[in-house]
Amino acid sequence: MAYIEIYTKKNCPYCDRAKSLLIKKSLDFKEITIDDNNLLNNMYIEMKQRSNGCTTVPQIFIDGLHIGGSDDLVSLNNQGKLK
């Protein structure tokens, strides 16, 4: 089973869309929220470094590989590559 990580913020429709798709596909994932003021800088910096400078959420990683955001996840699913 793939290890999926997703960086999110509260009240983000794109984050909700990505998480809903993962749940619908019965895929486990680790959600890393960047809302908490104490963690915002560290988690945001980590996300930005791991995603080669991307600053929007969600940012999704599968087995450590950056795949992008919500639209990229949907595209993978539409191609039958999200199992």
Q: Whole-prediction pTM value? A: 0.91
Please report which confidence band the pLDDT of residue 39 belongs to, taking 50, 70 and 90 as the band edges. Answer: low
Cα–Cα distance measured from residue 43 to residue 80, given in angstroms and rounded to the nearest whole number: 31
The domain spans of the chain are 30-56
Q: What is the pLDDT of residue 1?
A: 79
pLDDT score for 42: 87
Residue ranges with strand state E in the chain: 4-8, 30-33, 59-62, 65-68
Average pLDDT over residues 27-47: 85
Q: Count CB atoms within 10 A of the CB of residue 51.
A: 19
pLDDT digits (tens, 9 = 90+) for 3-25: 999 999 999 999 999 999 999 99
Span 59-66, average pLDDT: 97
List the structure tokens of 44: 């945001």
- How far apart (Å, rounded) are the C-alpha atoms in residues 18 and 24? 10
